[in-house]
Amino acid sequence: MATAFIAREIFTGQEIQTGKAVLVKDGKVKGIVPDNEIPADYRQRDLDAYLLAPAFVDLQIYGGNGKLFSAELTTEALDATYEYCLQGGCTQFQITLATNSIDKFIRGLEVARDYRAGGGKGLLGVHLEGPYINPVKKGAHIEKFIKKPSLEEVQHLVQKGKDLFRMMTLAPEQCDPVCIDLLQQHGIIVSAGHSNATYDEAIDGFYRGIPAATHLFNAMSPLQSRQPGMVGAIYDNNDVLASIVCDGIHVDYASVRVSKKIMGDRLFFITDAVAEVQYGEYIHVDKGDRYTLPDGTLSGSALTMLQAVRNGVEKVGIPLPEALRMASFHPARLMGLHNKFGSIRTGAQADFVVLDEQLNLQKVIVEGED
């Protein structure tokens, strides 16, 4: 069905336009036209006095709606995570597995493949956070599973992952550059994180082509006057993007604000959200506004992508268009998917959020349907 979506304001991913309509057919954006030039064969859908914007993209989420993917390893857990994402305006997500056994990683990849084969929606791929991290910066990760990579093991993961293994967080100082190169040769986004790298070690990894860093500030060597660390290297390299958990708990809002001033469009939001679970390797305790391990170690957020956007605008002072980009266009750009997701442009998938002036979610539109 051909539909013209009319809204008070349309945020394309680059600019806010008024007096326009987005033309959608067969789940794709066909163009943006003045609202008095809508073709006759398009049914008109008036979204009232709302803002229409690209739906969000979350590159790091572990579960949702009471189901932690690593604990269950079921397609039902992926369904629950997708529904949780939708509640926060997110239509595309990377399910994430924290440091664990290689066998569990491979099983997770198999379940993700089953989810896709069964028509499951929204899954961009699998993000393996670990096991090739630095135990000094393990955070909530389980130390007994942390290791240095072998080329054979990385080749095994790549072969089993095929088109689903899309991203890996690792500590560059713990990894032979040959292993990092192999991941990147197969199109896997390598993100530096859970790292105690010196500034020089981090910069060397970035110069080798590592394009990203995982949850800025959390579980990484800090910026200090004589030891700039991983944070300093991220600030200092103009090509590296970094995710950040904008909940005021993982990172103080002032730190988000300072980082945004330095990094500009290189900083983007993730939720790093988990679900409460009392079994399996990772026990997450619901503390209302966060999750912790039983010993109190911070282990995940209770964020949605929309709440990250709201916090960015209301607590950090980021202009709304840029806060929306941090939840959509910038993460899609890192994955090389910005022509398909994170913007409203001809040929893009018609995934939108409809927001009121208080940034409350009114509708989520997926492939032109809500």
Active site residues: 272
**Torsion sign, CA atoms 66, 69, 73, 78:** positive
Q: Residue 139: which of 313, 297, 15, 290 has the closest Cα? A: 297
Q: Which residue type occupies 257?
A: R
Q: Which residue type occupies 264?
A: G
Instruction: Provide the CB-side half-sphere exposure for 31 (13 A, CA).
Output: 7
How far is the C-alpha of 115 from the C-alpha of 198, rounded, in Å?
40
Per the CB < 8 A criterion, the answer to whether 108 and 68 are in contact is no
User: Which contacts (CB < 8 Å, 24+ apart) does range 69-74 have?
Assistant: 69/95, 69/96, 69/97, 69/108, 70/97, 70/98, 70/100, 70/104, 70/108, 70/280, 70/281, 70/282, 71/277, 71/279, 71/280, 71/281, 71/282, 73/104, 73/107, 73/108, 73/111, 74/111
> Structure tokens of 156?
């095994």
